Structure 1
Amino acid sequence: MDVTAVAERMLSLLGYPRIARPLVDRLDDGTTLEAAASAGIAPGCLLRGDVTLESNARLSTRCVLNGTITVGRGTNFEPACTLIGDVEIGNYCAIARENTFQQTNHETAKPSMQRRLYETVLDSDLEYVTDGPITVGNDVWIGARCIVLSGVTIGDGAVVAAGSVVTDDVEPYAVVGGVPAERLKWRFPREVREALQDLAWWNWDEETIRANRGFFERELESADDVPDVGNRSRPEPVSKP
């Protein structure tokens, strides 16, 4: 086992402690890690490629990030999630355990689909194929053991039921499920969905979120329940119901 492999293993076992994170960029495997000081990485995770973790992002144990990966502010990953390829996750998402985001696929038009055969026997390379990056919006909840495939965009506020395979785009605030995933219902009426996207509360700082506690603690039945403010980034506090 070479020095890079040993260092990678130690970083993984220790959960990429803050004091050691600059070491990642010095490894010979080309991995870069840009992690906010408040980002949490549990022991047993493995990070490869170009990984960005924004403030208060959390990776639970045995998560694997391999590719060009961005995890937004306040987003939580439960254990054993895998992100491969070009994947961007927005702010304040809730990602349950054992989810897979697979942005690359095997080539199927050639005689063999096994890359190792091409590399070791033919001294060649079988390129991965893809339909494009995976993009997950903000405030998205993905239930346990889902698979999200290449080229998919999941809109803000969407819900993906456990065990789903997502092959097509998911509209904002849709609830989808199944294999392949299809829309089951909407979280809110159209007017509420539009008001929430206009509000874009996930871009607020924590001070503003706390000041609007009442908004976050009420059930939304109509657009009147969503604050209508001119300055969306710094709204007036909403009184608690």
Structure 2
Amino acid sequence: MGYASYVGERSFLCDAKVGKYCSIGDRVSFIVGNHPTTEAISTHPAFYSTIGQAGIVYAEKNCFKEYKHVEDNYSFIIGNDVWIGSDSKLVQGIKIGNGAVIAGGSVVTKDVESYEIVGGVPAKRIKYRFSENERLILENLAWWDFPNERLKELTKIMNNPKEFFEQINN
């Protein structure tokens, strides 16, 4: 969990790498584990897994990759300054870019780009928070890595995007 990030009540995060300054709402679920849907006759783990999730094992070896890792041992990569609204669900194997917003109640099944706002079931792009050029400036700036003293100085313009981009460009 990155610096200054927080998680709301009854949220379930596992196998997640979370960046700095993230806001994760109440009852957010990070869903891990998968079942074969078209790769096998049965979706029950007794036929493809040796773990014994249901107390029985017929498989002699693991025949299906149940867990998707995006990076190292993480099933989820959450960038910096990400807001995930309450009651959202994220399916394993995805990356959420810096500054992204996930509307409450969404089911995220694929990667979300930096500064993209998504929502719905399944989640789809609503819009970007900033222009392409502004997104590039923010990615290169990586303000979340600034020392606290510098961030305190920037607080006034952080709440005024027009002024922020004007001052940063000068």
Greater strand share, structure number: 1
Displacement of 1:123 in angstroms is: 7.7
**What is the one-letter code of the residue matched to 1:122?**
V
Equivalent position to 2:155, from 196, 213, 220: 213
Which 5+ residue runs of structure 1 have no aligned equivalent? Answer: 1-70, 230-241
Q: How does 1:171-186 map to 2 (within 5 A)?
A: 171-186=113-128
Normalised TM-score (structure 2): 0.79
CA contact 2:24–2:83 (8 Å) conserved in 1: yes
Match of 1:42 in 2: none
Q: In 2, distance between residues paired with 1:189 and 1:139?
A: 17
Q: In 1, distance between residues paired with 2:131 and 2:167?
A: 12
Q: In 1, distance between residues paired with 2:44 and 2:167?
A: 51
Q: In 2, distance between residues paired with 1:122 and 1:224?
A: 59
Match of 2:134 in 1: 192
Displacement of 1:213 in angstroms is: 2.3
**What is the one-letter code of the residue matched to 2:44?**
M
Higher relative contact order (CA 8 A, sep 6+): 2
Q: Percent identity?
A: 33
Q: In 2, distance between residues paired with 1:216 and 1:178?
A: 28
Match of 1:168 in 2: 110
Q: In 1, distance between residues paired with 2:36 and 2:17?
A: 23
Q: Which runs of 4+ in 1 moved over 4 A?
A: 114-119, 123-128
Q: In 2, distance between residues paired with 1:73 and 1:168?
A: 25
Q: In 1, distance between residues paired with 2:167 and 2:125?
A: 24
Q: In 1, distance between residues paired with 2:66 and 2:10?
A: 24
Q: How does 1:35-184 map to 2 (within 5 A)?
A: 71-84=1-14, 86-108=15-37, 109=40, 111=42, 113-114=44-45, 120-122=55-57, 129-132=66-69, 133-184=75-126
Normalised TM-score (structure 1): 0.58
Displacement of 1:107 in angstroms is: 4.5
Displacement of 1:141 in angstroms is: 0.6
Cα deviations by residue, 1:61-120 (Å, 9 ceiling, x for unpaired): xxxxxxxxxx11100101011023x21111001111000112322345363525686663
Cα deviations by residue, 1:154-195 (Å, 9 ceiling, x for unpaired): 110011011111111111101101111110111111221111
Instruction: Tell me the secondary structure at the aligned position of residue 212 of structure 1.
Output: helix
Q: In 2, distance between residues paired with 1:93 and 1:140?
A: 5
